[in-house]
Structure 1
Amino acid sequence: MDEKKAAAAGWFEALRDRITQTFEAIEDEGAALPALPGAPAAPGRFERRAWTRTDVSGAPGGGGVMAIMKGRVFEKVGVNVSTVHGSFPPDFARSIPGAETDPRFFATGISLVAHMANPKVPAVHMNTRYLETTRSWFGGGADLNPALPNGQDTAHFHATLKAACDAHDPAYWPRFSAWCEEYFRIPHRNRNRGVGGIFYDYLENPDDAAFERHFAFTRAVGEAFLAAFPPIVRRRMGEPWTAEERLTLLRYRGLYAEFNLVYDRGTIFGLKTGGNTEAILMSLPPEARWD
């Protein structure tokens, strides 16, 4: 890898390590809380498993590491990193900027989804990535997905992301928060998946200055996630909940699964490029209902 690719991949791995450490600390803090039937007796810990990818040409195409935890506070959380390369299949290449005439690509990123045991604690998604074809760009975002929306939590999450955006470009928050609302829409349900956050893509890097500027913003998104989500978990994880609220959570998870299987770009990208299926589908909840 050249310097830019290595820097991006290294950041995503370092961010993964900080997030998993923080989530394991929260598991320790919640060790005495009431647990779901079948939850582990001890606080959860991440299990990591490496995987490799074969490119469409048959050559090695990189890979990644899955990190999955099933715990008492976090019913299921995955924090995956991948660094892959090779060539896009011809049909898919036509849909990727810069790959229309040259299908070779490089992609590295982190993807996180947390499904929580307590219905009062929102699910969350965060993803940031760097891609190169004949062009290069950063993309990603973070969004909050509560089954039982709480205005305080939503305001805190939005404010933290807005501060990260405003520090880099005052136009980012209005643009990327609106894009999040548009992207996470479920047309067949006529509703959004969650309560928003930010979504951005195609922050292109025609020169070194643009790369440094957009990489700095992408790092800021990771830092903002660490500042935004763990305090919400700590504030809500000990609140009592009812069987009716648990049912609301399970039904909401059905919506989450529908979006990720039908519309999510990351799911489509991973499956079209021969990624690890289990890692791609780690975003699906451990239990859901459609009644």
Structure 2
Amino acid sequence: MEQQKTRAADWFRALRDEIVAAFEGLEDRQSTGPLSDQAQGRFEVTQTSRTAPDGGDAGGGLMSVMRGGRVFEKVGVNISTVYGTLGERAQAAMAARKGLPGMKDDPRFWASGISLVAHMQNPHCPAVHMNTRMFWTPHGWWFGGGSDLNPCLEYDEDTAHFHAVQKEHCDRHGEAHYPRLKAWADEYFYIPHRGRARGVGGIFVDDYCTGDWEADFAFIQDIGRAFLPAFVPLIDTRRGMAWGETEKDAQLVHRGLYAEYNLVYDRGTKFGLETGHDANAVLMSLPPMAKWV
């Protein structure tokens, strides 16, 4: 399994590099139109670390954040590989959710993945989230991830394109995947206290393990590969559109909805904070500005 762990971590790093280059390319292409007179945004990269309860090293990663660009108001593309032992609360949650009662006897874990959240300057450009990950314990391994689109101003054609690309990549591994993952995303990204979804959906999968590591890894890679062709064409279409105070206000209110979900319901946020990962990296998903009515 050590070889598989290395391959997974290397893949998440390669995907991160590809996305960072594509996003900086979007900044370069915004040579006319809104905010084109300011400097192109560039990612600032910092090392992150996780400290074990005994003070020892427990892994870390890279936090890549761009702020105040021509296209992106704030975007983070983080990768991490962490390991150690799960605390009692995480052990109990893992045992209950994944049916792994042995966690109490041997609570070691290893996890690697990529997590991305983009908040856009132009309200016509949708915010987006994507992540893929691999998790290992002595009692089992699994993959998870997906992506979802979060526009404040919805365009049916954008939603259709985003979902079509997700379906195309899922269908490579069987036509039953996309309907199941779409329904899972609709359920997972629902905000009960608001009675609505946080966006227009996407795909989501967790605890994915068929027993065939190679096939499962190939599937999670295609979920990651779907992201750029699903998202970048939407931004190229919308980034030159004009906006005013009404559109910006709608964007800030929608961001409040997004922040509520990430702080109250998101399992990744809870896991990162409970296991001692860098808080700035975990909370990278929060928008730079938001409002509530």
Classify 1:40/1:279 alpha carbon distance in 2 versus 1 (closer, same or farther; 3 Å).
Answer: farther
Q: 2:228 aligns with which of 226, 229, 234?
A: 226
Contact 1:261 1:267 in 2 (8 A): yes
Q: Is the 8 A contact 1:56 1:89 kept in 2?
A: no
Within the alignment, does 1:181 sit opposite 2:186 as a pair? yes
Aligned partner of residue 189 in structure 1, secondary structure = coil
What is the alpha-carbon distance in structure 2 between the residues aligned to residue 168 and residue 72 of structure 1?
37
CA distance in structure 2 between the partners assigned to 1:149 and 1:246 by the alignment = 14
After TM superposition, list the pairs within 5 Å mapping 1:26-105 onto structure 2: 26-35=26-35, 41-70=38-67, 71-96=69-94, 97=98, 98=100, 99-105=103-109
Structure 1: which 5+ runs fail to align?
none
Q: Is the 8 A contact 1:135 1:205 kept in 2?
A: no
Q: How far is the alpha carbon of 1:279 from its aligned partner? A: 0.4
For 2:58, give the aligned amino acid.
Answer: G
**Contact 1:142-1:225 at 8 Å conserved across structures:** yes
Tell me which of 107, 113, 116 is aligned to 2:111: 107
Asked whether the equivalents of residues 140 and 199 of structure 1 are also in contact (C-alpha less than 8 Å), the reply is yes
Counterpart amino acid of residue 44 in structure 2:
E
Identity %: 54
Shift of 1:40: 8.7
The alpha-carbon deviation at position 227 of structure 1 amounts to 1.0
Give 1:205 deviation, angstroms.
5.2
1:106–1:131 Cα contact (<8 Å) kept: yes
User: Which residue matches 2:288?
Assistant: 286
CA distance 1:40–1:219, shift in 2 (3 Å): farther
Unaligned runs of 5+ in 2: none
Q: Tell me the number of residue pairs that the alignment of Structure 1 and Structure 2 aligns.
A: 285
Is residue 56–residue 87 contact of structure 1 (8 Å, CA) maintained in 2? no
Amino acid at match of 2:107: P
- 8 Å contact from structure 2 (residues 115, 132) kept in 1: yes
State whether residues 56 and 88 of structure 1, in contact with CA within 8 Å, keep that contact through their aligned partners in structure 2.
no
The TM-score with structure 2 as length reference comes to: 0.95
What residue in structure 2 maps to residue 243 of structure 1?
245
Moved over 6 A (4+): none
Pick one of 154, 157, 160 that aligns with 2:162: 157
CA-to-aligned-CA distance 1:39-80 (integer Å, 9 cap, x gap): 992100001000211112332100011000111100100000
Q: For residue 292 of structure 2, what is the amino acid of its counterpart?
A: W
TM-score (structure 1 length as normaliser): 0.95
Structure 1 residue 170: Cα displacement: 1.3
Find the counterpart in structure 1 of residue 260 from structure 2. Answer: 258
Report the residue type matching 1:269 in the other structure: F
Q: Indicate the residue corresponding to 1:24 in structure 2.
A: 24
- Given the alignment, which residue of 147, 156, 173 partners 2:152? 147
What is the alpha-carbon distance in structure 2 between the residues aligned to residue 284 and residue 40 of structure 1?
A: 26
Task: Kindly indicate whether the alpha-carbon contact (under 8 Å) linking 1:61 and 1:85 is maintained by their aligned counterparts in 2.
Answer: yes
2:203 is aligned, of 198, 211, 220, to 198
Task: Quote the offset at 1:101 in angstroms.
Answer: 3.2
1:67 maps to a residue whose letter is S
CA distance in 2, matches of 1:180, 1:243: 31
SS at match of 1:102: coil
Letter in 2 for 1:175: R
The answer to whether the 8 A contact 1:8-1:130 is kept is yes
Higher mean alpha-carbon deviation, 26-35 vs 269-278, is at 26-35
CA contact (8 A) 1:136 1:205 kept: no
Whole-angstrom distance in 2 between the partners of 1:172 and 1:285: 31
In structure 2, what is the Cα distance between the partners aligned to 1:118 and 1:167?
34
Deviations 1:74-112 (A, max 9, x none): 010000000000001012111113334321000000000
Q: CA RMSD in A?
A: 1.3
The aligned residue for residue 116 of structure 1 is 120
User: Please, which moves more after superposition, 105-114 or 214-223?
Assistant: 214-223
- CA distance in 2: counterparts of 1:254 and 1:100, whole angstroms: 38
Separation in 2, partners of 1:199, 1:171:
14
